Amino acid sequence: MSNMYAKAKTANYFIGCEFRCKYCTPSFQAQMKRQKHRCMNCYNYTPHEHPERLGKIPNSEIVFVCGDGDISFSSIEYTKKIIETVKTKSKPTQTIYFQSKNPAYFENFEFPPNVILLTTLETDDDEIYAEISQAPLPTDRADDFRKLKYPRKILTLEPLIKYHKERFIEIIKGIQPEAVWIGYNSRPNYVTLPEPSLAETMELITELRKFTVVKEKLIRERIE
């Protein structure tokens, strides 16, 4: 778990993803390689359920549901079981995160009030992003997230990729997130991404703080 979620524990009722983000391989997927002797589906990062874990919630201020995968690859029926665990086992004082790069998936569910929905928005440049991931394009993802009627939302701008400043800010503002978390690629020695300059990033942070909370993760000089 990254320091962006320092107060969080993960409840991995579902693991795996098939969006094949280039920056994910040396991070989440690499962590799953430790599971070879426990679960080969985890080891291979194949989307799969762990129903034996249902019915329990970590005792933590923040609980990241299915943080080692993308829950949109789960069946609707199984995700409803996960949400039922959250409804019946979590405390009202706990904050529960559900995150997906396919936020349209969340339209299928009703969430309890201690849930916050998250999506990643690395850029507003669909052309650049299409070379990096098979996830829904950023502008489509942002539009789907904005349309969700659920009121509690957070955006993760990580790993931050080159963007069009004015348009990116307007897209983020339209979503009305409770907070924005922002950071660069944490594995630059393994994968190189087209990043904005440090000055551009700090300018973006300044503009975002005019209308929402911004939490910084890894902010550094651009690696060419």
Would residue 224 count as lying in a domain? no
Inter-residue contact 181 to 3 (CB < 8 Å): no
Domain count, the chain: 1
Q: Among 6-10, 144-148, 217-221, which range has the highest average pLDDT?
A: 144-148
Whole-angstrom distance, CA of residue 136 vs CA of residue 86: 27
Residue 3 reports pLDDT greater than 50: no
What is the average pLDDT score of the chain?
A: 90
Residue 141 reports pLDDT greater than 70: yes
What digits encode the pLDDT tens for the residues 88-101?
Answer: 999 999 999 999 99
Burial zone of 184 (CB within 10 Å; 0-12 exposed, 13-18 middle, 19+ buried): buried
Residue 222 reports pLDDT greater than 80: no
Would residue 65 count as lying in a domain? yes
Would residue 221 count as lying in a domain? no
Would residue 222 count as lying in a domain? no
Where would I find the H helices in 47-191?
A: 76-89, 126-129, 138-147, 165-175
What digits encode the pLDDT tens for the residues 106-135?
Answer: 999 999 999 999 999 999 999 999 999 999
Q: How far is CA 164 from the centre of its chain?
A: 21
Would residue 18 count as lying in a domain? yes
Q: Is the entire prediction scored with pTM above 0.85?
A: yes
Q: Residue 58's domain spans which residues?
A: 3-216
DSSP 101: S
Would residue 168 count as lying in a domain? yes
User: Residue 136 CB: number of other CB atoms within 10 A?
Assistant: 23
Task: Give pLDDT, residue 28.
Answer: 53
Task: Give pLDDT, residue 31.
Answer: 60
- The whole-number average pLDDT for the span 67-81 is 96
We report the CATH number of the domain holding residue 189 as 3.20.20.70
